[in-house]
Amino acid sequence: MHVHWADPVATVYAPAKLNLFLEILRRRDDGFHEIETLMAPVARWDTLRFEATADPQLTCDSRWAISQNSPEFVAGQPVETGAYHALRELPSSENNLALRAVKRLREAAGVRGGGKIELLKRIPMAAGMAGGSSDCAAALMAANIAWKVNWSRERLATIAAELGSDVPFFLVQQPAVCSGRGERIAPQKNLAPLNFVIVQPPAGLSTAEVYRYCRPTSAPRAVGPLLTAWRAGRLAELGKLLFNRLQAAAEQISPWVWRLRNEFDRYDFLGHQLTGSGSAYFGLCHSTRHARRLASALRGRGFATAMAVTGAT
């Protein structure tokens, strides 16, 4: 995440994520699943602005950027790559994760003031890219700065884990192996840069429904070989080791998943698969140029949402 602060306002650029590896180990007694997953942030950004106020009211104004272009970062500064003149309102509600996050931080830290959240969305919903979780972590970080709470990331992570399984990952700001429900985070360093093409189909998927169709295996795969290939920069090997246990379940529910799998097979991706519980589908590429070429080819085939992205740093 990229954070910019000018008292009393903090702006955080919240990345999407891709699951390069996802194994379901068992169903837990609490109803959740024990997982092992390797998640990587990618340069598809929501923008969250938080302004601290003396008025105790907390509000959230959420909007979609219809152009869906994301900021690019040059020397750590955001450079907008498209116009955002056409915006479509999103309803603000008590179920908004970003709003819930700042309310929970205010309660835990004893803050008396309020604040205004302005959220510009570019990460697709119901796509397995964790836009809501990323916004939630961004809200915690922004309010922590603007309210001058000054909690450490470790302390913020205790609240993040209460709000959602993916939320603690977005406080780490780098690729990580996540286990348990996803809340136990092991950051990974010294990894080669990656490039992807992502396609978001017109229909989303319900995480709960996909998990209902998925059964844990008696012979789970391990993430170690994939990490070894990534650290060594062996991208062709990495592509062959991409894995998502949820994909077979998702293909039973949505014809878009197998349609995208068959479509990506037409091109020279190093590997491709569903991210999370879907419905977004991605392919690993040799380079930025390769990713742009394949994204253009897929758009030419009618997949208008095909986009080339890099790993976020």
**Catalytic residue annotation:** 17, 166
Rounded to a whole number of angstroms, the distance between the first and last alpha carbons of the chain is: 8
Pairing of strands 307-310, 281-285: unpaired
Distances (CA, A) of 4 to 39, 170, 171, 186: 24, 16, 15, 26
Q: Where are the beta strands (DSSP E) in 193-290?
A: 195-199, 243-244, 271-274, 281-285
Distances (CA, A) of 256 to 19, 163, 194, 199: 18, 30, 25, 11
